[in-house]
Amino acid sequence: MDAPANPWFSWQYLERNWGEVVDALVIHIQLTLLAMLIAVAIALPLAILARRMPRLAGPVMGFTGVLYTIPSFALFALLAPYTGIGRTTVLIGLVMYALLILVRNILVGLEGVDPDVVDAAKGLGYTKNKLLFSVELPNALPSMIAGLRLATVSTVALVTVGVVVGYGGLGQLMFRGLQSDYRAQIATSALLCLALALVLDVLLMVAGRMAMPWNRAQGSRSARKAAQVRLENAS
């Protein structure tokens, strides 16, 4: 007797389990977005503090680096006895892992602002807060957006580990598929994770370009200059 078919891709699986797949995807998206919002809300003040008080930069980066090195399975398991099983434990873990990437990129962006621009703003009488919001943060946006994109994609992947405490979004489907060797369930959850990461990354990239129109203008000028040089060389 032939064994029942166990394909990696099955539209019938989606038709029969559409509600369950959508629920898992929604939970995955909610966890990712909420974790990133909380992480940004913590990382931005930390990076600004480290920028204004350089002696704190080492401890801040060291602390977030230590958090990042803790294995995800171990972290969720260690948190569970204190924060319970479910959403809260997963969110704490996701925020902790995102902090290093965000703090590092924000701090690098702030430190990379042209000192001449900062001096010119100070000469115009800018206060520290006005200097921060009008000069430093806008100029640090490329590095900040890069960090946000990287942290978001990493978080999408890490959400699946939440299955350890019973709240892993698409990771729940993936885990059940692995237990039962149901290939369609494994492949569907994995592909949805990949698609979600790609969609969020593209959205952040587009949002970054919209938030930095001066970069597009600078890129256009650079492209025109490069084309002019090539024409001169050809002639």
Percent of all residues in the chain with a pLDDT value above 70, rounded to a whole number:
88
For residue 83 the two structure tokens come to 């924060």
Is residue 8 within 8 A of residue 183, CB to CB? The reply is yes
For residue 118 the two structure tokens come to 């900062």
Q: Say what the pLDDT of residue 85 is.
A: 80
In a domain, 125, yes or no: yes
In a domain, 126, yes or no: yes
Mean pLDDT of 160-188: 82
CA distance 188 to 195: 10
In a domain, 230, yes or no: yes
Q: Say what the pLDDT of residue 230 is.
A: 41
Mean pLDDT of 20-43: 92
In a domain, 31, yes or no: yes
Q: For residue 55, what is the domain's CATH number?
A: 1.10.3720.10
In a domain, 4, yes or no: no
Q: How many domains does the chain have?
A: 1
Q: Say what the pLDDT of residue 1 is.
A: 42
Highest mean pLDDT among 61-70, 108-117, 139-148, 168-177: 139-148
Domain enclosing residue 62, as ranges: 11-234
Query: With bands split at pLDDT 50, 70 and 90, how would you rate the model's confidence at 218?
Result: low
Q: Read off the pLDDT of residues 99-115 as tens digits, 9 standing for 90 and up.
A: 889 999 999 888 888 88
In a domain, 110, yes or no: yes
Mean pLDDT of 178-202: 88
Query: With bands split at pLDDT 50, 70 and 90, how would you rate the model's confidence at 4?
Result: low
**pTM to 2 decimals?**
0.82
Long-range CB contacts for residues 206-215, cutoff 8 Å, separation at least 24: 207/145, 208/141, 208/142, 208/145, 208/149, 211/141, 211/145, 212/138, 212/141, 212/142, 212/145, 215/142
In a domain, 6, yes or no: no
In a domain, 67, yes or no: yes
Phi, psi of 228, deg, nearest 5: -65, -40
Percent of all residues in the chain with a pLDDT value above 90, rounded to a whole number:
26
Phi, psi of 154, deg, nearest 5: -65, -40
More confidently predicted of 153 and 120: 153
